Structure formats: C-alpha cells, structure tokens
C-alpha cells in the first residue's frame, strides 16, 4: 500500500527519496504501520477511498480539488486532515457539508443558489447573510415595481379613450413593455422537522452495567463499560472507525446481546433508532408514503403525507418505490420514520451523512428541542460542540465514559495520537552540557529575532483586520442605503451604491487573500521558532 501511495510522489531530477511524506499522510488518514505492507485490494471500500485521498495529497498539486473528502474519515483522521489543509500553501477548492470544516480551511465561500453562483470572502455565514440581504432588497424592489406598474396600468385604462391623453398613454404603454417584470422568488426547499416526544417521568431511561462484548474470543470491542442514560442526556459516542461505536448502539437497542454485563431499560422507555445499515430494512416494494405510514402509531395517511413533504418527497414523489431511491433519499425515509415514532430516547448513528448544511442545522435544532435523551455516534466536531454533554470515548484500545463536553475532553484528555512527546533529557554526548552563558546569549538573540520577525507580521495582520472591519461597516451602511433607495425607487442611487459596494467587496476579497497568506506565514514562522527554541533546550 505504501508503494501504491508513493507512485503519486513528484519526481525530482536529483532522485531524492520522499517516501516518508507518503507514510506520514497515510498514518494521518488512519492507517497503521502494519497496514502499509497490505495489498490495496485487501482494503475495505472506505480505506480504498482514504488511500486515493492520500495519493492526491502526496502528489503536491498546484490546485487541490476535494469533493466531500470527509465522507469515509473518522474523527481523528478528520482532525488531521483539517490541520493538513490549514497549512496547505497552494490553491484549494473543497465541497463539504460540514460547515465547521469548511470555515476552518477556506478564505472564501462559493454558494450555488437559485441557479447562480456567488463567491464571497469569509466564512459560510457571510454568504447566507449576503443572500438573505439581497433577497430582501429584491423583494422590496419587486413590491415597489408592482405598485408603480399598477399605477401606470390604472392611468392607461383610465385615459385610453381620451384623445388629449393619447400621447401620454402611448408613452406609458411603451415604458411598461420595456420594463422587466420581477418574478416573486419561490421558496427554497430545506428539511425542517421535529421529533415526536413520548412522555417519561422518571430520572433514568437506561442503566448499563459492566458491558462486555466482542466478535472474536479474547478481543473485546467493549470491555466492562458502565453508564446510565438520564431522561434529558445528550451522550455522544466518539472514536475511530471499526472500534465498536455502532456495536455499542446495537447493544443498547437490543439488536445484539452482551457476552456479559447488562442493559437495563425502564418499562416506559421508547426509543427510535437511526442506524447506518437500517436502510436495508426498508421494503423495496413499498412506497415512501407506505414506509412512513407503517411507522406512524395510528397509521395515519394524512400525517404520513405531511412527513413525506417535510422529508422533501412532496406530492407524487411520496409514491416512489423504495427500490428507485438513492442512498441519501432512503436515509431521509428512515429519518421520516423516526419523526412519526413516539420516543423518549433517540439512538442516532451518523445521521448527517446524507444531509446538507441547512438540513444538518435543522436536525440540530430538532435535537435541541427534543425533550428526551439522545445517544449519537458522529464524527462531526461541530455537532459534538453543539449538543454533547457526556461522552463515551473509544480511544487507546478501550471505551471509557467521560463526564463533560467535547471541549472539556480536548482540554483535559485529548486524543492519544495527538499527545505531544515528552521532552528529551537535557543531557547527552557523555553527560556534557552546553555552556550556560553561551546558551543564554544564543537564546537572547533568538528571542530578539523572533520578536522582530513575528512582530512585523502581527502588525500588518492587525492593520488588515482593522481595514476589513472598517470596509465591512461601510458595506453594512451601504446595504441599508440601498434598501432605502429601493424603497424610494431611486434607480440612480441604487446604481451608484451598488458600484461602491462592489469596490469595497473587491477590496475586502484582496485583503482576505493577503491576510490568509500572512496568517499561514505567521503560523509557519511561529512553529519554526518553537522548534528552534526546543532544539536549543535539548541540545546536549
């Protein structure tokens, strides 16, 4: 496998060997040392995708194009990839539905909206705010135009028969014919839903005690894990792929029986389970409507049709057979079945895999509003930061309960592969040490060099940030002025303001590009000085 990855390394005339780069990238994407000698044909589909991603990264292209690169990565590999992309010094274009990842590695956001493409500097939030503002201006302009059009039509109808007004009427008719009519914007289609909460009055929904399970004798995936699920808990199960997260969900749901230990459920527990493989349980001969109606407690067709619409299967689309649906559409059917199932505990296994940004936001809102407990497996750090208050962590070959948020876990424990190595002993070369006076002088010189180098970069970055803030304030006021001009129907002012806004936005784009370059340079220089300081401390 390492040889396969090395095929994509750039070829140098001096014949240098940079196979270590392929090894570093493969390890970062979740391969072990033992995996490096495997034949690529022996890999699962997900790890073959990772191998192809590694070959792309190791090729060191001028332009990196990534289409959903996170789909088959676990949380640890995702964190590594984000750091890799943040330090990428060349051009990058990425498609991803994970807003946090996109915002952390990009300088501009490009949105496809109403059959058009918009590119705006900054994070995704800037795009959504800009599009909302533009549509608000458009709608006010449209309403104002319709009002004026009605007034002109009223004038034409009133004076059409009067000879004295013939010229004025004809002039207005021609003006009306030339004027483009603005159509009312159609509503955009996004998932918008809420879960069906079942009542529960006790404190604990479930008690898990000394849970033990493994598919191979003597190789447990889950070893003596104990925890409880309170009626409003938000528990996230996190870790690398293949370590037992889905297995734990299957044990909680009763689909697997533990080898030892127990899962005790309250008599009033009602759970709804969204599993990665549950789409295989959909009947290919049934329609979307029939599948959702089957899950409804009253088998209500009207309610089923409503949920079909919410899940973006409106009208006759609800009559599609399951057999003709894509994987993403089948996942939406499963999610729809969850919505109609009364539950006081949701068990969710990577529910956002086939959801876009807006749908993921809607899911998070629905989880936040849900009055019961939620146990979720996810690799999205955005979701973990948003909802998790307790964690079950699969790391270091075991599963452990962590009481706290995901940020608490990162601050207090962290992932085992990210723990920095301990400093080496300060002595070497037969116990000899560097002269203390010389070390102090060299350190002082390095401190001075660091201060000058980083200080200049930080000063320019601060200047750019102040200029961007100032320009954004100008744009904010300009947008308000455009709305006022639009309400007044002042076309000249709208044109002038639009040109000014365009110039300001272009300047911001240019400043963001310079800012990104300087921040990367600052980050690299900071690391370089840290390494030089560490090297000085450990020089023997």
389 shares a domain with 369: yes
Task: Look up tokens 């079909």; give the residue.
Answer: 308
What is the chain's mean pLDDT, rounded? 84
Q: Which of 95-99, 260-264, 328-332 has the highest mean pLDDT?
A: 260-264
Task: Specify the long-range contacts of residues 76-84, CB closer than 8 Å, at least 24 apart.
Answer: 76/30, 76/239, 76/240, 76/415, 76/417, 76/418, 77/28, 77/29, 77/30, 77/50, 77/240, 78/379, 78/381, 79/381, 79/415, 79/418, 80/28, 80/29, 81/28, 81/29, 84/25, 84/28, 84/57
Res 176: pLDDT: 78
309 shares a domain with 350: yes
Q: Is the pLDDT of residue 132 over 80?
A: yes
Res 80: pLDDT: 92
Q: Partners of 227 in the beta sheet? A: 208
Res 447: pLDDT: 73
CA-to-CA dists, residue 116 to 103, 111, 132, 289, angstroms: 21, 8, 14, 33
Res 15: pLDDT: 67
62 shares a domain with 10: yes
Residue 392: both structure tokens together? 């079950």
What tens digit of pLDDT does each residue of 6-41 get?
Answer: 889 888 766 677 888 888 899 999 898 888 888 988
Cβ count within 10 A of residue 221? 20
Name the burial class of residue 527, with classes exposed (0-12), middle (13-18) and buried (19+) by CB atoms within 10 angstroms of its CB.
Answer: exposed
**C-alpha–C-alpha distance, residues 426 and 424, integer Å:** 6
Name the burial class of residue 285, with classes exposed (0-12), middle (13-18) and buried (19+) by CB atoms within 10 angstroms of its CB.
Answer: exposed
504 shares a domain with 364: no
532 shares a domain with 449: yes
Residue 463, H or E segment: helix 436-488
Assess if residue 184 is contained within a domain. no
Rg of the chain taking only CA atoms, in angstroms: 30
Assess if residue 431 is contained within a domain. no
Q: Is the pLDDT of residue 435 over 90?
A: no
Domain boundary among 58, 81, 114: 114
219 shares a domain with 277: yes
Q: Are 376 and 237 in contact (CB under 8 A)?
A: yes
Task: Look up tokens 């750039």; give the residue.
Answer: 10
Mean pLDDT for the stretch of residues 347-352: 92
Cβ count within 10 A of residue 103? 15
Q: Give just the sign of the alpha carbon dihedral 450, 455, 456, 457.
A: positive
How far is C-alpha 225 from the geometric centre of its chain's CA atoms? 30
Domain boundary among 418, 452, 476: 418
474 shares a domain with 371: no
Q: Give just the sign of the alpha carbon dihedral 320, 323, 326, 329.
A: positive
340 shares a domain with 245: yes
Cβ count within 10 A of residue 440? 10
Q: Are 345 and 375 in contact (CB under 8 A)?
A: yes
Nearest 10 degrees: Cα torsion 447, 451, 454, 458: 150
Name the burial class of residue 507, with classes exposed (0-12), middle (13-18) and buried (19+) by CB atoms within 10 angstroms of its CB.
Answer: middle
Residue 512: both structure tokens together? 């963001």
Residue 483 belongs to what domain range? 436-538
SS3 content of the chain, % helix, strand, coil (to 5): 55, 15, 30
Assess if residue 48 is contained within a domain. yes
**Domain containing 403 — which CATH number?**
3.40.50.300
In order, the DSSP letters of 274-324 are E-TTGGGGS-TTSBHHHHHHHHSTT--HHHHHHHHHHTT--GGGGG-BGGG
Phi, psi dihedrals of residue 537, rounded to the nearest 5°: -70, -30
**Which one, of 244, 224, 508, 272, lies nearest residue 375 by Cα?**
272
Res 381: pLDDT: 92
Mean pLDDT for the stretch of residues 352-362: 84
Mean pLDDT for the stretch of residues 219-235: 93
Beta strands 271-274 and 260-265, pairing class: unpaired
What tens digit of pLDDT does each residue of 469-486 get?
Answer: 888 888 888 888 888 887
Name the burial class of residue 349, with classes exposed (0-12), middle (13-18) and buried (19+) by CB atoms within 10 angstroms of its CB.
Answer: buried
Q: Are 333 and 307 in contact (CB under 8 A)?
A: no
Whole-prediction pTM: 0.69
Assess if residue 309 is contained within a domain. yes
Assess if residue 194 is contained within a domain. no
pLDDT band (50, 70, 90) for residue 229: very high
Percent of the chain topping pLDDT 90: 32
Residues 6+ apart with CB under 8 A from 333: 279, 282, 288, 291, 292, 311, 313, 322, 325
Q: Are 511 and 467 in contact (CB under 8 A)?
A: yes
319 shares a domain with 449: no
Cα separation of the two ends of the chain: 39
159 shares a domain with 95: no
Among 116-130, 169-183, 227-241, 496-510, which is the least confidently predicted range?
169-183
Assess if residue 94 is contained within a domain. yes
376 shares a domain with 288: yes
Domain boundary among 418, 444, 479: 418
Residue 14: both structure tokens together? 């001096």
Q: Are 307 and 162 in contact (CB under 8 A)?
A: no
Q: Partners of 260 in the beta sheet? A: 212
Residue 408: both structure tokens together? 């608490």
Residue 77: both structure tokens together? 């590999």
What is the domain count for the chain?
4
**C-alpha–C-alpha distance, residues 246 and 353, integer Å:** 14
pLDDT band (50, 70, 90) for residue 416: confident
Assess if residue 428 is contained within a domain. no
Among 200-209, 250-259, 440-449, which is the least confidently predicted range?
440-449
Assess if residue 196 is contained within a domain. no
What tens digit of pLDDT does each residue of 280-296 get?
Answer: 788 889 999 998 888 87
202 or 353: which leads in pLDDT: 202
239 shares a domain with 167: no
């Amino acid at each position: 496998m390492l040889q396969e990855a090395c095929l994509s390394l750039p070829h140098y005339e001096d014949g240098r060997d940079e196979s270590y780069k392929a090894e570093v990238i493969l390890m970062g994407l979740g391969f072990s040392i033992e995996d490096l000698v495997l034949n690529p044909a022996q890999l699962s589909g997900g790890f073959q995708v990772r191998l192809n991603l590694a070959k792309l990264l190791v090729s060191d292209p001028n332009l990196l194009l990534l289409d959903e690169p996170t789909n088959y990565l676990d949380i640890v590999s995702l964190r590594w990839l984000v750091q890799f992309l943040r330090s990428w010094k060349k051009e990058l274009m990425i498609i991803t539905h994970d807003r946090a990842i996109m915002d952390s590695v990009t300088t501009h956001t490009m949105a496809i909206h109403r059959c058009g493409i918009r590119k705006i500097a900054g994070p995704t939030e800037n795009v959504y705010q800009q599009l909302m503002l533009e549509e608000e201006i458009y709608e006010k302009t449209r309403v104002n135009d319709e009002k004026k059009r009605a007034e002109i039509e009223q004038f034409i109808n009133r004076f059409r028969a009067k000879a004295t007004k013939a010229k004025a009427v004809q002039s207005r008719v021609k003006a009306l014919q030339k004027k483009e009519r603005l159509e009312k914007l159609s509503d955009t289609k996004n998932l918008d839903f809420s879960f069906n909460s079942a009542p529960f009055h006790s404190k604990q929904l479930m008690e898990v005690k000394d849970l033990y399970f493994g598919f191979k004798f003597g190789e447990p995936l889950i070893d003596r894990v104990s925890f409880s699920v309170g009626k409003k808990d938000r528990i996230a199960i996190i870790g690398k792929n293949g370590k037992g997260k889905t297995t734990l969900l299957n044990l909680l749901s009763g689909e697997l029986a533990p080898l030892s230990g127990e899962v005790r459920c309250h008599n009033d527990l009602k759970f709804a389970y969204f599993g990665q493989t549950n789409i295989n349980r959909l009947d290919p001969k049934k329609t979307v409507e029939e599948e959702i109606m089957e899950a409804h407690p009253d088998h209500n067709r009207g309610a089923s049709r409503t949920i079909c619409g919410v899940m973006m299967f409106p009208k006759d689309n609800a009559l599609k057979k399951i057999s003709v649906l894509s994987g993403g559409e089948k996942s939406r059917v499963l999610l729809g079945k969850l919505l109609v199932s009364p539950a006081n505990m949701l068990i969710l296994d990577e529910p956002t895999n086939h959801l876009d940004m807006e749908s993921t936001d809607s899911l998070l809102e629905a989880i936040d509003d849900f009055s019961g407990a939620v146990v979720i497996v996810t690799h999205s750090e955005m979701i973990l930061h948003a909802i998790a208050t307790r964690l079950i962590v699969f790391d270091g070959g075991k599963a452990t309960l962590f009481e706290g948020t995901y940020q608490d876990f990162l601050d207090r424990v962290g992932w085992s592969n990210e723990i920095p190595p301990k400093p080496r002993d300060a002595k070497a070369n037969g116990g000899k040490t560097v002269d203390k006076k010389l070390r102090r002088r060299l350190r002082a010189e390095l401190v001075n060099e660091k201060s000058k180098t980083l200080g200049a970069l930080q000063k320019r970055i601060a200047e750019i940030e102040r200029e961007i803030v100032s320009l954004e304030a100008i744009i904010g006021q300009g947008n308000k002025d455009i709305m006022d001009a639009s309400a007044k129907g002042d076309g000249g002012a709208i044109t002038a303001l639009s040109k000014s806004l365009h110039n300001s936005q272009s300047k911001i784009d240019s400043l963001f590009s310079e800012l990104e370059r300087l921040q990367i340079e600052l980050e690299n220089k900071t690391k370089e000085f840290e390494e030089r300081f560490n090297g000085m401390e450990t020089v023997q």
